Amino acid sequence: MKNLFPKGLTGRFFFLGLFLILLPVTLVFIVAVTVSQDYLTERTHNQTNQEALYMAIQTNQMVEDKINRVESAVYHYRDTGNMEALQALVNELHLSDPFYRGANILDAQGNIEFSSQGTNVSPGLQAVLSNVVEKMEWRRSSFIFTNSSQEPFGLYMAVPIQNEDHSPIEGVIVSKISSTYLHNFFRTFADEAGTRALLADSQGNVYMDSSYRETGESIAGEHFYRDIKRERTEVIDTFWREDEVLIAHHAVDRHPLYTVIITDKNYAYASTERLTEVLTLGWMILFTSGIAMIIITRRKMVVPIKKLTKQSYDYAAGEAWKINLLTEKNELKTLSKSMHHMAEDLKAKERYLKLILESFPYGVLTIDEEGIVTSLNKVGEQLIEHSKKQFVGKSYRRLPSKKLVKLFDRHLKKSRLNETVTDEIKYVDQTGKTKHMKLTISPLWNENNQLIGQLVTLWDYTTIKELEGHLQRSEHLAAIGQMTAGLAHEVKNPLGTVQMAAEVIHEEVKEIFLNNPRDTGRFSMILEAAGDIQDETKRLDNLVKKFLQVSKNKKSEEKLLKLKEVNDKVLHLLAHQFRYYDIDLYSGRFPEKDLVLGDESQLIQAFMNVYLNAVEAMQEQGGNLRVAVKKQQNDLILTISDTGEGIEPSKINRIFHPFFSNKQEGTGLGLSITHDIIKEHGGRIDVESEPGLGTTFKLYLPEAKERSPHNE
């Protein structure tokens, strides 16, 4: 196979030019001739068929117009009842319109009452007219009929005489249609050479032939007559009367007639033959021009290709840009070498860009429009715990973290809408350590401002999260201080009792000492101990008072608050978490006039703790959160229901205890603080829960009135 092609570029160019230019031109010529012949044949058939249809429509319109003229005379008779006037109108139509060959007025028994001027009533016509009356008695409307079995041969039109449409007939107007008029009419459809027009009935009798050759003859024996009977309207390519012709036919609407167009095939396909001749001449011109173009192009293209080869080689070698001809036999080989050097240079630039990408302090990931990962740097490998070989070229859905895949699914759609999305995720790495990662997904555009994918940046913010944990522990310690203050409050009462008892002991011993001065040593020790007890209890009492003063949780600002506004502020703060964890919020009735008296910041904190508890219960699989408020006597009840994991019955009584938590990282103080805040506002909290179905918190708060502004 290799020996078929010349070794040099010049020889190959000439050899391939013959096959790439002349052979396609020849194939195009063959296809063009075939397609054009098929197209013109189909077009000729359609045109012939349309001519037959048009002729049928025009025939129907002509007949209907003539029937209407006779019917107008009958309508005039209905109005006047004057038979002589009707006879005069019929006679006038017969004389003025060449369409009517003769006219007769019959009574209801078929007797001729009137014949127009010049009408010859033969015995054969008398028989035809009597049959018409019988047909009209049941049709009672105008119609066209034919007479071919006896003289006179031809087409006839019958119009009933009656007082109103479809009523019993009083007579019939019968007019013969002029064959001369029909011939002149149909000549307009067959005015071109090679085309004939026929008008036949359903029995195959020809009543009009534009060439007069078939008038009065029958085509019932012809093979195409079966298609006419079946009303198949496709064009027939056949032989008839020793001629090769195209035949098309159509039925005349509402009448027992058919229009037939007969076109000589040589005449019909003359345009196809002319087009074939033109295409053949065009192919010969193109073939000759192709050979000339190959010869000329051989001289004009090979030299520039050689120059391009030398220039590309010099560019790859770093030399000056000079145009020097090479003496190598295979110019394409030289060109491929120079292109290889250029590719190496491009690879070096690509490596440089990769070094920049790898030096980024955060992970970088690119995804194309099909969701396939196209690049990943080292930091990204560490964060997603997947190597480039395992991940690049595959779908991002192969990420080991299902949470990360779910996050990508949710945000990649937004990125395609020209939105930059930032989110965070918590996951457990392969070592079992919990990590926190933030990511940003941005649309990636090319130089034509077309979207080609998404750019994902990842960074580990576990350290920041740990600092936040330290802050939470500080809050934990603050809560311990709160609990210590509570303990101090509990110690204060027994401490007062001890102090009082110490004072009583001191006074009693002092009185005994005064009455028994001989026991000075023994009583002085007791007095000294009682004094020490008094001093220490006073010191402890002062310390407890300071604890209570520092830790007492007073409402900083008590005022009338709209319960809906307080709840809406909390929901606004948590809206991002609802979207992130796929939680659907359903808010029920919240009247604007529902008021409570209290500290807004404390109530926000209390509501926030309950909502956060619900979010944490549904963060794994999402769910529904329903919120509503209702009145019960003097209380407003805020109901918050989730579809989370629920609380076990053995733990539900301890959820308001300080430091009790179902979560490993929880402080156990949120619901405890909420309980204290609601209690301080004169309310209470009820909890209902079923494991696996969800939890409902009911927060009872006293309803306030507009006329009760006292908040001190």
Q: What is the CATH number of the domain that holds 620?
A: 3.30.565.10
Supply the pLDDT for residue 711: 45
Phi and psi, residue 102, nearest 5°:
180, 160
Residue 636 lies in a domain: yes
User: In this structure, are 654 and 564 located in the same domain?
Assistant: yes
Question: How far apart are the C-alpha atoms of 595 and 577, rounded to whole Å?
Answer: 28
Considering only residues 485 and 509, tell me which one the structure prediction assigns the higher pLDDT.
509
Q: What is the mean pLDDT of residues 252-256?
A: 86
Judge whether 536 lies within some domain.
Answer: yes
The CATH number assigned to the domain holding 403 equals 3.30.450.20
Indicate the average pLDDT of the chain: 78
223 within domain boundaries: yes
- Residue range 641-680, pLDDT digits in tens: 999 988 888 888 778 876 667 665 555 667 888 888 899 8
pTM of the model: 0.39
CA distance 410 to 580: 9
Q: What band does 331 get if pLDDT is binned at 50, 70 and 90?
A: low
The answer on 693 and 562 residing in a single domain is yes
Distance of CA 570 to CAs 12, 170, 606, 643, 698, Å?
80, 95, 10, 19, 16
Q: So what's the pLDDT on residue 626?
A: 94
> DSSP string covering 122-179, please?
-HHHHHHHHHHHHHHHHH-S-EEEEE-SSSSPEEEEEEEE-SSTTSPPSEEEEEEEPH
Let me know if residue 661 belongs to a domain.
yes
Domain range enclosing 513 = 466-551
Same domain, 430 and 524: no
Neighbours of 202 (CB within 10 A): 15
Final residue of a domain: which of 359, 379, 404? 359
Say yes or no to pLDDT of 389 above 50: yes
Which of 499, 522, 551 corresponds to the end of one domain? 551
Does residue 573 sit in the same domain as residue 689? yes
Residues 487 and 453 in one domain: no
In a domain, 321, yes or no: yes
Are residues 586 and 694 in contact, defined by beta-carbon separation less than 8 angstroms?
Answer: no
pLDDT of the residue at 160: 93
Tokens of 316: 């790859």
pLDDT of residue 315: 52
The total domain count for the chain is 5
310 and 402 together in one domain: no
- Note whether 686 and 562 are same-domain residues: yes
**Same-domain pairing of 605 and 688:** yes
256 part of a folded domain: yes
Q: Is 566 inside a domain boundary? A: yes
- 399 and 481 part of one domain: no
Least confident window among 326-330, 590-594, 612-616, 633-637: 326-330
What whole-number distance in Å separates Cα of residue 225 and Cα of residue 212? Answer: 19
- Of 400, 352, 395, nearest to 371 by C-alpha is 395
Over residues 25-52, mean pLDDT? 79
Most confident range, picked from 112-121, 232-241, 634-643: 634-643
Taking only the tens place, the pLDDT of each residue in 131-190 is 888 888 888 888 988 887 666 678 889 999 988 887 888 899 998 888 888 888 888 877
Identify whether residues 575 and 649 lie together within a single domain. yes
576 and 659 share one domain: yes
- 198 in a structural domain: yes
Residues 456 and 400 occupy one common structural domain: yes
Q: Cα separation of 144 and 255, whole Å?
A: 6
Tokens of 327: 């003496």
